Structure 1
């Protein structure tokens, strides 16, 4: 139906497909490159099912992909994970257990344990009933074997490695607090290579438009608009009011 519509309305296939896949940030150049690589006709009604599948695969390769191999807590899962990694060496595959992570976060939310997502252990801080104790014993056994639930590792790998983001905190030189006294309540994900001016605009348009300088809070030194941000920088923006 899509192919017939494109051809019937005499649309450019690369523009039509790019528009259809705009939510995935697929560009016209991406589509054109894949069509040329596969030596496809620019008339989509002439594509067979196999060619369409090949085009889909090529377009998918353009985007970073990570496979979350869930249910690592199930018996035999580790063997299956090894098989997956051998069968698909081109993909980043990380084993995880969303059920373990959910149990940890729910227990932490109820103040039964002290747990930081991604940690390899937790501390009991509340009174547990028999059911809770049994459940957390199972979780502890899992963590001892696999070191972590895997969920946070997947998120960190996706954001910081595959998408190439860094974390930047807004702050002041004397106190790293907001106007209400909360210590660094927020952090911002910035693309690696972003500058102090980019960060100013991310905080507020007025900060960017009226930028004077920025302060590297950790080292207590001024930096210019072209200063390249580093992971976990704490930056204060000075601007004309």
Structure 2
């Protein structure tokens, strides 16, 4: 599971990345601070299956019945206008972002950076322009991929009666786009019966844009929302994409304070508490007072909420807990509910086996639902929160 962070330069993407992953990234108030992509591990939150069984268990990623599940987050170089033509680090950005299943568009909601990522007085730039330009760049890049050897493709399909769906999906295979995605878009745009050489410029533009929206869903992280005089901009952004008001800088501060044992705080909490017996110096006191104002204004920092929304609302992923002993809910080492897998909606018991190890899927016999104690087959569709044992003729490894 990979989330890509996209956006123009100098909007706080690297700060968002550092806050979400607790991985150090170079942060600077100038364009192209990020040149090579930063890759780190973040976590999304969901209910642990221990709640259903009303049990407690010692697991570092289960805190009071809330389960944290690892995801990959990639922060790549910022975009500038003309990126699809190679301006700035555009082509590199787009290539690095292509394998992400969902995109978080980090914007400067305070309007304190212009379209090129240069600092300007707060409120003098309209963030709505950033949303449009970044998506246009992504669409133009995808259009270039499609149009590459388009005439050759059209002739081949004419002479060999090839399938348009297969040919187009092959062009986009590196972006994780399959034939089903292409067929769905072609059908909905009534392009399925239209031969490629008859497509006009508008057909191509609409197809690419629709395919991008379907296969690379976007949520807007309205960073620096704490610097806005009001949050009306959030309502405007919501008309385009789901949007969450964020302060990456505040989240980063709170995570550092937690790591240093100063406060009690979990990602996604809407408040924090200074630990008993802690004496703050004036700098720490001022920083935490400011953080409290931000958290109160935004009802949190928005970072964890953005990650959770991307996975569970946009992608509608489900969580399944594989075990090796369905009665004790343990693995072979006796650890209770040791793993949690994020799966696509509609995933089957055999898909779960494949996600654990290909040998389990190859030798799949049946699965056992630990909640119902029933035996289920390979095509059994899993539900969110299921606890499943896989029976296979082949062991892992």
State how far apart, in whole Å, the 1-side matches of 2:333 and 2:287 are.
39
Alignment of 1:21 onto 2:172: yes
Q: Is the 8 Å Cα contact of residues 215 and 237 (structure 1) preserved in structure 2? A: no
Aligned to 1:107: 257
Aligned to 2:304: 152
Q: Is the 8 Å Cα contact of residues 67 and 94 (structure 1) preserved in structure 2? A: yes
Stretches of 4+ aligned residues off by more than 6 angstroms: 38-41
- Structure number with greater CO (CA < 8 Å, separation at least 6) is 2
Deviation at 1:16, TM superposition (A): 5.7
Aligned counterpart for 1:139 among listed residues 284, 291, 294: 291
Distance 1:224 1:84, change over 3 A: closer
Aligned to 2:351: 198
Alignment of 1:120 onto 2:264: no
Q: Is the 8 Å Cα contact of residues 211 and 238 (structure 1) preserved in structure 2? A: yes
Deviations 1:138-184 (CA, angstroms, capped at 9, x unpaired): 22222222222222222222211221211112334465555556554
Question: Paired residues, what number?
Answer: 234
TM-score when normalising by structure 1 = 0.74
Aligned to 1:169: 321
TM-score when normalising by structure 2 = 0.49
Distance 1:24 1:191, change over 3 A: closer
Bigger helix fraction: 1
Alignment of 1:214 onto 2:364: no
Q: Is the 8 Å Cα contact of residues 168 and 188 (structure 1) preserved in structure 2? A: yes
Deviation at 1:78, TM superposition (A): 0.9
Aligned to 2:210: 58
State how far apart, in whole Å, the 2-side matches of 1:144 and 1:4 are.
51
State how far apart, in whole Å, the 2-side matches of 1:157 and 1:82 are.
17
Larger radius of gyration between Structure 1 and Structure 2: 1
Q: Is the 8 Å Cα contact of residues 322 and 387 (structure 2) preserved in structure 1? A: yes
For residue 73 of structure 1, give the secondary structure of its aligned residue in structure 2: helix
Q: Is the 8 Å Cα contact of residues 366 and 375 (structure 2) preserved in structure 1? A: no
Distance 1:104 1:182, change over 3 A: farther
- The Cα RMSD (Å) is 3.6
Aligned to 2:238: 85
For residue 267 of structure 2, give the secondary structure of its aligned residue in structure 1: coil
Distance 1:170 1:40, change over 3 A: closer
In structure 1, the gaps of 5 or more residues are none
For residue 221 of structure 1, give the secondary structure of its aligned residue in structure 2: coil
In structure 2, the gaps of 5 or more residues are 1-143, 158-163
Deviation at 1:105, TM superposition (A): 2.2
